[in-house]
Amino acid sequence: MQFSNIIGQQAAKQHLLDSIHRGRLPHALMLRGPSGVGALQLAHAIAQYVNCQHPTDEDSCGQCASCRKISQAIHPDIHYVLPIISKTTSGKAILTDAYLEDFRKLYSAEPYFSFEQWQHALDGDNKQLMISVHEIRELKRKIFLKTFEAEYKIVILWQAELIRTGAANAFLKLLEEPPDKTLILLTCEDPGKLLITINSRCQQVALERIPKALLEAYLVEKKAVEVAKAKEIATISEGSLSHALTYMQESHHELNELYSSWLRMVYTGNYSKIQQIIEQIYKENKEFQKLFLAFAVKKLRDSLLFQLGVPEIALVTEAEKAFQQNFSKLIDADKVEQMVDLLDESRRFIAGNAHAQMAFTALSLRLHSILRS
C-alpha cells in the first residue's frame, strides 16, 4: 500500500510526510476516523514508506523487497494486533498470529475490506471481537527481539477501542517505553472508548470522511460501476469506501425490492409479512443491515422530492418511479423527517450491537404509526 493508493486523506498524508522528512515522527500514532475511511490502509502506507529501500519525497517505491512484503502483509518486522474472538486451546490463548492467513486473504483481495468482513471471516458475525492481555504480552515479547531486516519495527494495532482494560494497561507500558526504532500505529473509530492515557501518549492523526466525488470516481474508474449507480452509492456510503464496496456488491435491484415491499407492508400493517422481510434482512450481516437503513433514508428523501413535485432531482431508475410516485402521496416533509430520524437511530443501535431483529421490529411499528397518523 502506497500513499498514492489511499483515497483522499490529503491533509493526513501531507502531515505525516512532513513529520517524517523533519525527523519528527513520534513513536506512536493514533489514526482515527470513521470506519472504512482508510486508517488501516494508511498504517500500511506509513509502515511501507519508513521501511522502503528507495523512497521518493512523496511515496514508497512499491517495488523493493520491503515494500512487496509489507503490501502482502508478510513482513517479519510488522507485528499485527487484531481484534479476534477470545478463546483458548489446551490452556493457551489463541492470538492474532493464528488468524494472519485470514487477514492476508481479505487484505490482498481488497485492502479496504470492512470490519464486518473480518468478523465474518473469523466466524464471529454475532460475537464480540477483542484485544486481550495475552495478545499484548506476546507483542511485548516479540517487540523486544532484534529486527529481522527492517529499519523500523512496526506494530499495527487495528481498532484500538476493542482493547480490554487489562490489555490497555499492559499496552500503556509499551507506549511509555518502546524499544528503539519502533513505530506503533494504532487505528481507532471512537477514541472516546479508549483510556485517556493511551490517547495522550499517541500523536493523533484525524482522518476525514472521503468526499463523495472521490468515492464516485473510484467506483467508476477502478470498479467499472455505471456513473448513475456510482453516484447513488457515493451518496449513501457516508464517506466510507468499505461501505461503498459492500453496497456495490448488493444488487441495487434486490435492495430496492426489499425496501419497497417492506415499506408497503409497514404501511398496511401486515405484521406476518413484515416479519418475513425482517428475517431476510436479519440473515445478512450487520454491514448489510446498516446499508439497508442508509438506502431507506436515501429513498425516503427521494419520495419527498416526488411529493414536492421535483422528481427529476431524485436519482431513481425507471423501475422505482411507479413506487415512488404512489408512496409520495402518503407522506409530507414532517413525516419524512420523523421517519429519517428513526432510521438513523436504528442504524446507530445496530452499529452499537443492538439485536437487529428487535430493532427492525420496533422500527417497523413506529414507522407504521407515523405513516398512518
| Rounded Cα gap, residues 144 and 141, in angstroms | 6
Q: Is 220 in the site for Zn ion (CB under 5 A)?
A: no
Strand partners, 16: none
* Number of chain positions touching Zn ion (CB under 5 A): 5
Concatenating the DSSP letter of every residue in 351-367 gives HTT--HHHHHHHHHHHH
CB of 53 to Zn ion, least distance (A): 5
**Count of C-beta atoms within a 10 Å radius of residue 312:** 9
| Rounded Cα gap, residues 301 and 171, in angstroms | 46
CB of 64 to Zn ion, least distance (A): 3
CB of 116 to Zn ion, least distance (A): 32
CB of 104 to Zn ion, least distance (A): 19
CB of 80 to Zn ion, least distance (A): 20
CB of 16 to Zn ion, least distance (A): 16
Point out which span in 48-56, 99-107, 154-162, 218-226 binds Zn ion (CB under 5 A): 48-56
Write the CA distances from 262 to 255, 276, 367, integer angstroms.
11, 9, 11
C-beta closer to Zn ion: residue 1 or 367: 1
Is the C-alpha dihedral spanning 273, 277, 283, 286 positive or negative?
A: negative
- Enumerate residues 6+ apart whose C-beta is below 8 A from 174: 136, 139, 140, 143, 184
Taking alpha carbons only, the member of 185, 238, 213 closest to residue 37 is 238
C-beta closer to Zn ion: residue 13 or 335: 13
> C-alpha cell of 57?
519525497
What 3-state DSSP class applies to 89?
strand
C-beta closer to Zn ion: residue 49 or 247: 49
Point out which span in 12-20, 53-61, 344-352, 364-372 binds Zn ion (CB under 5 A): 53-61
Q: Is 362 in the site for Zn ion (CB under 5 A)?
A: no
Helix (H), strand (E) at residue 343: helix 333-351
Binds Zn ion (CB under 5 A): choice among 31, 46, 52, 162? 52
Q: Is 60 in the site for Zn ion (CB under 5 A)?
A: yes
CB of 146 to Zn ion, least distance (A): 22
CB of 59 to Zn ion, least distance (A): 9
Q: Are 39 and 156 in contact (CB under 8 A)?
A: no
C-beta closer to Zn ion: residue 181 or 209: 181
C-beta closer to Zn ion: residue 68 or 264: 68
Which CB contacts under 8 angstroms, 24+ apart, belong to 106-109?
107/73, 108/72, 108/73
| Burial (CB count within 10 angstroms: exposed 0-12, middle 13-18, buried 19+), residue 242 | buried
Point out which span in 9-17, 55-63, 85-93, 219-227 binds Zn ion (CB under 5 A): 55-63
In the range 160-199, which residues lie near Zn ion by CB under 5 A?
Answer: none
> C-alpha cell of 324?
415512488
C-beta closer to Zn ion: residue 52 or 241: 52
| Rounded Cα gap, residues 100 and 84, in angstroms | 11
Q: Are 209 and 238 in contact (CB under 8 A)?
A: yes
C-beta closer to Zn ion: residue 67 or 156: 67
Point out which span in 33-41, 56-64, 207-215, 326-334 binds Zn ion (CB under 5 A): 56-64
| Rounded Cα gap, residues 69 and 1, in angstroms | 10
CB of 58 to Zn ion, least distance (A): 13
Binding to Zn ion by CB under 5 A, coded x per residue (else -) over 61-100, reads x--x--x---------------------------------
Instruction: Tell me the one-letter amino acid at 357.
Output: Q
Point out which span in 4-12, 47-55, 126-134, 244-252 binds Zn ion (CB under 5 A): 47-55
- Which residues are at the interface with Zn ion (CB under 5 A)? 52, 60-61, 64, 67
